[in-house]
A and B are shown apart, each in its own frame.
Chain A
Amino acid sequence: MTQVANANASVVVEQLRAWNAQAVAQVLEYRGETTFVIPRELLRAVAFQCRDNPALSFNLLSDATCVDRFPLEPRFELNYQLVSLQRRVRVRLRTSVSGQQPTVESLVPVWQGANWMEREVFDLFGIRFDGHPDLRRILLPDGFEGFPLRRDFPVEGKR
């Protein structure tokens, strides 16, 4: 199982680095899962590669979510879980976003399904997605103040 995951990881890294030497900053292997750390500026371009390169063909975006590592900086880590239905593999793309300017390129042009996932991250973490067609709060009411899934937001809520 682990071997298959590793073989797959090297294919993805080779393909992405052949396209752009800076595309993959780091490859993490943990518990049989592969994570590619992508520079923030290249995120959308790498995502297009992942979808359109026939050797990769990650056509399904399973999930997009965020982890807040407050008080570390850059505090936000965005995780995208990709699936290739043809090749039957999963990988994770990760990119770091700073707390001062939490902005990243939207992946809606790549996978339409990213629309609500990014709206959820925007709603709960306050990360802005550039180029998102409809960036509004999705779960919380429009007038809500603050971003509740940030680590510095109290669990019992603000009074």
Chain B
Amino acid sequence: MTTVDSAIGTTKTMVLNMGPQHPSTHGVLRVVLELDGENVVSAVPDLGYLHTGIEKSCEDKTYSQAITLTDRIDYLNPLGNNLAYCLAVEKLLGLEVPKRAQYIRVMLVELQRISSHLVWLGTHALDMGAMSVMLYCFREREEILKIFERFAGQRMMTSFIRIGGVALQPPAGWREMVKRFVDMMPPRIDEYEALLTENRIWQGRLKGIGYLSPEKLVALSTTGPGLRAAGVPYDNRKVFPYSSYEEFQFDVPTRTESDCYARYLVRVAEIRESVKIVRQAMDKITDEGVIKAEVPGVIPPEREKMKTEMEALIYHFKIFTEGFSPAPGEAYAVVESPRGELGCFVASDGSPKPLRVHFRGPSFVNLQALPDMVKGQLIADTVACIGTIDIVLGEVDR
């Protein structure tokens, strides 16, 4: 407890715990707030309540087994995590992924981005007191989860992206299903915007809140919509394209206000861009074709081959009992997750288990900006700031 000078003279501050079970912290984040009345003097985030040691566990799994763990890091973006990890391992192996598999990856990851932004919009609106938006957003998210269920048999932890390609051929009727969704989505986005964008309460709660200058954000290593809302057009899909993103036409939405409202506008615009990318990916995915690279001893062979060829059977057995061993070396692969730059660092020592797997979670790094963002603002604005940083505690704590 310290004393501060305020308009009415010298006052004593008070320390207040926000979380770890506070509904607006989106999980188990604890923020120790030092308050002068209702104004925040300082904020110290306290993390680790959800630490599960995923990086350590990866070291005890073979390269392909570790994929299932990556799903559970950022649980709103499991496919994006799979992709970052698989790109890193593929880089380590020097492996080329067939184009068709790359397009399937892009389509699914973009659907995942839409679903993640919908959860963000719904929960953030709920934090700000607009309950109906949440119900709208989860309605559309449900459609995306149904698509994932059709593709992978799982709604959330799909582990659908595998080393060298994807797990399965797209299911029968996938094209109609995805088309129905992308046709439905743009008018639904208009619906959310009709509820929020010009809403006076919404603007009052978000405009001018949580400003940080672009230089400050770069120094703090912030990436993703938070940085783009400050006018820095940094998007890994454009700047360092992966998985054939250079073949897709889309814009990187930016704003310059760098407040909570600008972050909201950037995310809504990103949903529209993702819909565009999904449409293009659908056209690029042919009805027939391969879904994974063919590398004996690394990529599991086709079921049919396994039953007719001796070598294929041996490789299959070896891959699932012992795994494969990339040459010693390191690789760092980066994808643009809904929250920013998701990096995956994989080091191999030539054994079938990775020496080190590290995830650079955008939520973890972006959350560093919170103390600077909320300094001098009201407690209620802290909720808005935590919301628009868009953290997923699974990724913060790993």
Contact = CB atoms under 8 A, between A and B. Distances in A.
B330 A79 contact: yes
A31 B60 contact: no
Nearest to B328: A30
Interface stretch (A9-17, A18-26, A38-46, A58-66): A58-66
B332 A63 contact: yes
B71 interface: no
B240 A90 contact: yes
Interface string A78-97: 01010001001010100000
B48 A141 contact: yes
B365 A113 contact: yes
Contacts of A81: 332, 343, 345, 360
Interface residues of A, number: 39
Interface in B207-226: 218-223
B94 A60 contact: no
B173 interface: no
B56 interface: yes
Given A31-B92, A81-B332, A149 B219 contact: no
B194 interface: no
A53 interface: no
B358 A65 contact: yes
B7 interface: no
A85 B55 CA distance: 28
Contacts of B221: 60-62, 111-114, 117
B398 interface: yes
A85 B365 CA distance: 17
Contacts of A120: 364
Contacts of A92: 332
Contacts of B53: 148
Given A61-B221, A155-B60, A33 B364 contact: no
A111 to B, nearest CB: 6
B244 interface: no
Contacts of B55: 124, 149
B347 interface: yes
Interface string B53-92: 1011101100000000000000000000000000000011
Contact of A62 (B330, B341, B349): B341
A79 B347 CA distance: 11
Given A81-B343, A113-B219, A116-B368, A62 B56 contact: no
Contact of A116 (B59, B358, B365): B365
Contacts of A32: 91
Interface in B182-222: 218-222
B232 interface: yes
Contact of B356 (A62, A67, A115): A67
A151 B60 CA distance: 11
B355 interface: yes
A25 B91 CA distance: 25
Given A115-B368, A141-B48, A68 B356 contact: yes
Contacts of B355: 67, 69
B250 interface: no
B240 A30 contact: no
B330 A112 contact: no
Nearest to B372: A112
Contacts of B341: 62
29 contacts: A31-B94, A33-B331, A35-B330, A60-B223, A62-B221, A62-B360, A65-B356, A65-B360, A67-B356, A69-B355, A85-B218, A85-B232, A85-B234, A88-B240, A90-B240, A92-B332, A111-B219, A112-B220, A112-B221, A112-B368, A113-B220, A113-B365, A114-B221, A120-B364, A138-B48, A139-B397, A148-B53, A155-B56, A155-B59
Interface of B: 47-48, 51, 53, 55-57, 59-60, 91-92, 94, 218-223, 232, 234, 239-240, 329-332, 334, 341, 343, 345, 347, 349, 355-356, 358, 360, 364-365, 367-368, 397-398
Given A85-B232, A116-B365, A138-B48, 19 more contacts: A31-B91, A31-B331, A33-B91, A62-B223, A63-B332, A63-B345, A63-B360, A65-B360, A67-B355, A79-B332, A81-B332, A85-B218, A90-B334, A112-B220, A112-B221, A113-B219, A138-B47, A139-B48, A149-B55
For the complex of A and B, list the 7 residue pairs with the smallest distance between their C-beta atoms, beginning with the closest.
Answer: A113-B221, A63-B360, A139-B48, A65-B358, A155-B60, A139-B51, A67-B356
